[in-house]
Structure 1
Amino acid sequence: MLPQQVPAPIVEHSYIPTPAEAAPSEPEEPLPEVQAPEPASAVKPAPAPKPKRRIVRPKPQEPAVAPPPEPAEPPPPPPIISTRTMQHDQLHGLLDAEVQRPDGKVVGRAVDMYIDAAAKPKLLMVNLAGFMGVGDRKVNFPWTAFRFTPNAKGAPITFVQPSPPAKGKPADPAPKPQPVNEAPANLVQLVDSTVSQKSGARIGRVVDVLVDSQAQPQALVLDLSSSLAEDKRHVAANWGDLHVISHNKQWQLQMDFNDAQLKATPTYSPEQPIKIVSPVAPVAPEAASATAGASAASGTSGAAATGPTGTTASGAVSAQKPASSARPAK
């Protein structure tokens, strides 16, 4: 009934793009591939275990151990002897020393001396020279009749003439020689005498006496050859340590040395400085501890003490004893 319309013909038109449109465009990202779904029955593999992280724990610090304290050095042993040094131009040996008159003429040689109970020199024995050895005789003169000059180029001992008298006073008599056999019995002949310890043990033999310029003996030269085994030497013992004692109505010479002190004494030699030795009395333990405490409290205040000192064999310093400190006979 209705009229049938004829469809319009389809005409293809070709489209030519413009140059701007013909420019290359950015490439498009490819679409991700579509993964095929896994079958439901497939078992998923277990995930790989994660690597364990190593944990470094700090080591506990060891407590610091303090080193043990070093043991204190033991105190040096107390000195057993003390020494003082003198030169040969200060002292001269008495034995065989030349004796001259004031005019310089040598009249003899000293051979011995005598001391009293207080160890004071009283007489000097002189061997008066004769002619060609004929007529020599030994006589004693008062000790005060001589002057000593240790460093003299000539004779070290000079006979002293008495001083001229003062007005109104009588002249002093000139000292006269006395026979040796008339020496008083209360005096002790020194040279070749034996010196002993308190215990009675023999120390040595007196071979010389060292005298200074004031006519004061300073040391005894002792020969220890027979007092200690294999100890053949001489030592200079301090004159002030000499004691004259009476035992069984006989005079004896005594010093306070023991065997250890004698072994520690330096050897006397005419070519070396003279080291005069004195024994040091041992200190009781209680007294030693009390002295150490007092020294620690006072510090170095004791170093300012005055007076002549001598150095001990171990390096300590001790006071010198005067030459006249010998004790009288008991």
Structure 2
Amino acid sequence: MPIEETDTKVTLTHPSDPSSSVTILKHGATILSWLHKGKEQLWLSDAAKLDGSKPVRGGIPLVFPIFGKEKNESSPAFQLSQHGFARSSPWEFLGQTTESPATIQFGLGPEQVDPEVYKLWGEGKYDFTLILSITLDDDLTTTIEVENSGKEDFDFKWLFHTYLRVPDITDVLVNNLIDQRCYDQLLATEYVEKAPVISFHEEFDRIYKNIPVEKSFQVIDKGQVLHNVHRDNLPDTVVWNPWIEKSKGMADFEPKSGYHHMLCIEAGHVAEYLTLAKGSKWKAAQTLSVGGEIRLQTNIF
């Protein structure tokens, strides 16, 4: 069967390739695993909580309606915990929508969010519907649709918090970010990226802003393309690796040496809030693919 559903998870297997599949935890609609021709493409912490007690460390958690922790006390999202409630709420599995390519959907509305948490966002006056579509072909596409089904406009941010698996982070390069404006969260400074490729030898946490959506990013290991990240209507990208000390400080990050084998490249709309008028919808997508040729979309000379 291409779809297997349990009380807690849904697994979609490629209809013509049983070695390729995607597994989603219903709590948070978090993708836990993406097997591509038998090889795992995502990193998941050995200590990740899969019982709904806290957001999953690894895979592809969903960040909504805020990114990080809101610091502006006048914001309707100020009281929300980090990264909002989408990744920590039970989503409804809506079933399969197409057979070719194989696509399944999950949905989230206010009735599925903890009432005490929901009240922390604009005093609970915003009505919304989130529809997540997951398409498994030779690549993996996650599409989000946000609908404002209430009587009030609301502001939100969105992020696919993707943890990619890599053999060794110290051998990895990421291309096509040169000349992009970025905010370095460790230095609390904004500047234009001038490195022709990004490499990793210490903690790394940057938000790259307003990147043309035709640009894709590639994770390259010793000349071989491991991953390609493509975006649709997602102008920003977060690049993150916690390195040694931050990994030690996260109880659900195991093994502590796991930072060697993961890299977060997170497509989103997080540099600024999006305002969604009542009755309106917003749609965006991320597509992950494996391998291929190195593709330079920037001038590195």
Query: Normalized against structure 2, the TM-score is what?
Result: 0.22
* Structure exhibiting the larger radius of gyration computed from Cα positions: 1
Normalized per residue, which structure has more strand? 2
Query: Normalized against structure 1, the TM-score is what?
Result: 0.21
